[in-house]
Structure 1
Amino acid sequence: MKTLKLIASITFLFYGIVVNAQDLKKYDSGNYINGKDSIYYRILFPENFDAKQQYPILFFLHGRGESGTDNQKQLNNGGKLFLDPAFRKKFPAIVVFPQCSNQSYWANVQINTQGGKREFNFVKGGKPTPPMHAVLGMIDNFLDKPFIDKKRVYVGGLSMGGMGTYELLRRKPKTFAAAFAICGGDHIANVQKYKKVPLWIFHGEKDDVVPVVFSTKIADQLKVLGKTPKITLYPNANHNSWDSAFAEPELMPWLFAQHN
């Protein structure tokens, strides 16, 4: 009997892995290449997509662990969220996951790993990294499409992608109707540039990879600028605060309710 249960459990697990892999194939593969700019992405279109209609679009920036050139790993965290039937029915949107190379970062941040501990020095201003420059061009290219609702353009990301989210906001503050950043960070001098963009910040208070202070500083700076920050801190979460953020029942309704 125990053997049969074990076989059944293994079969169920294998079935789940196969189904999840098949589901992620619903994300089409694409690329944006323009001169020196080159970036690959996965894109999920709404069910019953009609190019004659207009849809909101969400750009999602992955974390460092999903970097590479396989155009697949960036879906590891967050990819399944947008495949949920309830989400697809309630929020028919285009979702784009670009992938950053291993050789660079989304954000213009200097990272020191000497001594076994990461130190982040966020840059005020500066030129975009090659992946960020390519993403900026990719976004402009998408916004030229007639089926994009330019009043409902969103961005979100986690960890390195949370940092990239802030960077995109300061480089294109008028483009995005709203954004969410999970366990990210930025130079507080940059907050002035995106203070008018509705933003929801998430972070784990026990984060030992990207300290929570990077998020609370941004929230505090928004207060200084006369804004009421929307921030959710998870007392028991370490670096993985994205699972908790993705489970927030109000995140997607809040995000897609915003428009320019």
Structure 2
Amino acid sequence: MNTMLISLFLMCSLDLSDWDAMAISASPGSRPIASRLLRPSDTSEPKPLLVILHGMGERGVESTGQLKYLPRLMATPQRRANFPCYVFVPQCPPNETWSVISRTQVSAAPFSTFPEPPMAAVEQGILDILANENVDASRIYLCGLSMGGFGTWDLLSRRPEWFAAAGPICGGANKVHAPRYVGRSIWNWHGAADEVVSVALSDHILDAIRKLGGEPKESRLAGVKHNSWRNAHADGQLIDWMFTHRLLPSDTAKGARTMLRSRFKGDPLMVHARVDPLLTPAIEVLASYPEIQLVEREPAPGDVVLLTPRGNLNDIEKLRSALQAKGVKLILVTEPQHAKEPPNNERRTWAVRHHARMQLLPLADIRAAAASAAPVWSRLNADIVVESKLSESGSALAVRTIVEALLEMDES
């Protein structure tokens, strides 16, 4: 009997005695969703955490349907011995989804600004497990199939600072999210003959990542339909690969330089050097990139400027249209200033003339990324700020955030 048949046989029975039922919710008072947690046999030392997102057919409230496929395999004695870890398997309620899964035959729709309620509960569930279990925070892994494949791409785009590696299976993501994935450890699986979720959806996001210099791993399975998870999980190769990876906060900027090089191939981006001392370490890193040129003069049309938002931002769209018509080029707004009206009309006029695209970027984004990373990174003793300046890890996070913002604006 080959490995795949043995694995499928093991899926036929399920012992719930080792699976603790959990009700998780995004916030106190919000509607909980069902989930299960399998603990390793020995919890005396920190162990990895594997998060598994199921497909549409496993939705429910009974907290058992989601334990098909990989969860059952991970509960077998052999897998528990080979991969000692915590296994967290939430269950999406009926008629809901982990993520926006609307799509054409060639691309997935962009993910929503805020997570779907079940996904928000998953995020909180991960944080609860981190707070209450002996988890190795450098080894949190994420995978999912079909609807869970979309969910894997979605959650990785929202919380890239949490995961050491991810394995989306027969899902997809829109290319607008590609900057979030460059430099991340991703192994994507999809059947080339998938009749439910077209393999073109994987091709769409993988091609976009590669155009930015990323190197996602891919298994495009000839002749395989909408069951490529069997190939991914039957012999343990996906899990084995994921478990070789560790999250290093100081490596967060990995891929930033590659993305700059791939997108900006002409004159260097001019960055106004007057910045908050907090950001000095990140600006020093940016200054080391040939694609970036620090300048001290006042910005002029055509510059790419790091400034914070100023003035009334309600008319951004009107300003953007007017200034684009005058040929003023891309501008990223990040210099530290209070978000209030300029002190005088002259300053306001200067802003109107020189700022083609005023955005709440990237200081607001850096703060958001730091808040997202902190619960995981704190378990790794990776402080984001040390003595009123960004640490090495904090600087890497800021650099990554700034570069992603540059690329996002260049696409707009």
Aligned-partner Cα distance in 2 for 1:76–1:35: 30
Question: Are residue 20 (structure 1) and residue 13 (structure 2) matched?
Answer: yes
Quote the residue 2:75 is aligned against: 83
Matched to 1:20, the amino acid is S
Aligned-partner Cα distance in 2 for 1:36–1:161: 22
Aligned-partner Cα distance in 2 for 1:68–1:148: 27
Quote the residue 1:133 is aligned against: 120
Post-superposition offset of 1:81: 1.5
Aligned-partner Cα distance in 1 for 2:235–2:209: 22
**CA deviation vs aligned residue, 1:175-203 (integer Å, no higher than 9, x gap):** 00001011011111112112222000000
Cα gap change, 1:189 to 1:210, in 2 (>3 Å):
same
The equivalent position to 1:158 in structure 2, one of 129, 132, 145, is: 145
**Runs of 4+ residues deviating >6 angstroms:** 16-19
Post-superposition offset of 1:84: 2.9
Cα gap change, 1:18 to 1:101, in 2 (>3 Å):
closer
Aligned-partner Cα distance in 1 for 2:12–2:96: 32
Instruction: Classify the secondary structure of the residue corresponding to 2:227.
Output: coil
Aligned-partner Cα distance in 1 for 2:216–2:199: 15
Instruction: Classify the secondary structure of the residue corresponding to 1:96.
Output: strand
Alignment map for 1:1-260 (pairs within 5 Å): 20-21=13-14, 23-33=15-25, 34-47=28-41, 49-50=42-43, 52-110=44-102, 121-145=108-132, 147-260=134-247
Please, what is the CA RMSD of the aligned residues? 2.2
More strand by share: 1
Instruction: Classify the secondary structure of the residue corresponding to 1:254.
Output: helix
Gaps of 5+ in 2: 1-8, 248-412
Instruction: Classify the secondary structure of the residue corresponding to 1:103.
Output: coil
Quote the residue 1:9 is aligned against: none
Instruction: Classify the secondary structure of the residue corresponding to 2:102.
Output: strand
Gaps of 5+ in 1: 1-15, 113-117
Would you say how many aligned residue pairs link Structure 1 and Structure 2?
237
Instruction: Classify the secondary structure of the residue corresponding to 2:70.
Output: coil
Q: Check conservation: 1:202, 1:231, Cα contact below 8 A.
A: yes
Post-superposition offset of 1:43: 1.2
Matched to 1:221, the amino acid is A
Aligned-partner Cα distance in 2 for 1:162–1:249: 18
**CA deviation vs aligned residue, 1:3-56 (integer Å, no higher than 9, x gap):** xxxxxxxxxxxxx899813x3442221122332151211111112x33x42110
Instruction: Classify the secondary structure of the residue corresponding to 1:214.
Output: helix
Quote the residue 1:11 is aligned against: none
Matched to 1:39, the amino acid is I
Aligned-partner Cα distance in 2 for 1:120–1:73: 29
Aligned-partner Cα distance in 1 for 2:11–2:206: 41
TM-score, structure 1 normalization: 0.84
Cα gap change, 1:201 to 1:81, in 2 (>3 Å):
same
Matched to 2:137, the amino acid is K
TM-score, structure 2 normalization: 0.54
Post-superposition offset of 1:168: 0.6
**CA deviation vs aligned residue, 1:226-256 (integer Å, no higher than 9, x gap):** 1122000111111111111112443222111
Matched to 1:159, the amino acid is S
Q: Check conservation: 2:36, 2:90, Cα contact below 8 A.
A: yes
Cα gap change, 1:79 to 1:146, in 2 (>3 Å):
closer
Q: Check conservation: 1:125, 1:190, Cα contact below 8 A.
A: no
Instruction: Classify the secondary structure of the residue corresponding to 2:207.
Output: helix
Matched to 2:101, the amino acid is V
